[in-house]
Amino acid sequence: MKTILEAKNIVKYFGSDESKTYALKGVNLTAYYGEVLYIVGPSGSGKTTLLSIISGILRPNEGTVTVKDKNIWQMKDDDLADFRLNHIGFVFQDYHLFPKLTTTENVSIPLFLKRQNWDKSLKEAKYYLEVMGLGSKADLPVYKLSGGEQQRVAIARAVVSKPDILIFDEPTASLDGETGRQIIAFVKEHLLTQERTIIIVTHDSRIFEFANRILHMEDGKLKQTTDNGNHLDAQKCDIKLEAEAQ
């Protein structure tokens, strides 16, 4: 298995002196191409902090994060921002969409940020909305969509720039059980490729079956790894699917 991301000895604390809280106490994590990796654990165990650090959002106090052989926390801020735009797609728990913009405009945002041509960006955004089954909602403002539909818009926005790492923070937390399962099944079937890894933080045991590996966190440390097997069951056909959007 080929490594896409490696975090070594990650330590993160908040506050100082008596008010110092250790969120992560020396965490090691490796993610491989072509797998769905879950990070699970009780509330306050450090999952979101770890996710923020490996995705280049939050700087650790100690340790290194290497993505595609690059030490991301040694990069200058501008270079890290560019690296994130090109390689990491993040789906936030509460979606972080712009409610009054159309679904197409929301999905286009990463491409606009990359200064890609406006019309080409909208065309590619529409393609990914089709992939996510939202072609008929392309021109609607986001506030008119259901929770599950908004989640799919957020996923389309995260994949539009073809990231190697797709990261989800509690993707099913605001959805009913069946919608949550359908979305994760869809993501695994259509968006996992052998050139990508998908990392999901979740409390939701109803979606555990979609993981290849599950990392269990407790009190700022990784306690245990469960291997569900089926590594590299990424779908080759989906690489073709994405290439068509170019």
Residues in contact with ligand ATP by CB under 6 A are 14, 21, 23, 41, 43-49
Between the alpha carbon of residue 165 and those of residues 67, 68, 101, 178, 199, the distances in Å are 9, 10, 26, 25, 7
Q: Among residues 21 and 71, whose Cβ is nearest to ligand ATP?
A: 21
In angstroms, give the least distance from the CB of 168 to ligand ATP. 13
In angstroms, give the least distance from the CB of 27 to ligand ATP. 11
Q: Among residues 101 and 173, whose Cβ is nearest to ligand ATP?
A: 173
Q: Among residues 48 and 121, whose Cβ is nearest to ligand ATP?
A: 48
Q: Among residues 102 and 202, whose Cβ is nearest to ligand ATP?
A: 202
In angstroms, give the least distance from the CB of 51 to ligand ATP. 8
Q: Among residues 14 and 98, whose Cβ is nearest to ligand ATP?
A: 14
In angstroms, give the least distance from the CB of 40 to ligand ATP. 9
Q: Among residues 20 and 236, whose Cβ is nearest to ligand ATP?
A: 20
Between the alpha carbon of residue 37 and those of residues 127, 157, 181, the distances in Å are 27, 21, 16
In angstroms, give the least distance from the CB of 120 to ligand ATP. 37
In angstroms, give the least distance from the CB of 38 to ligand ATP. 13
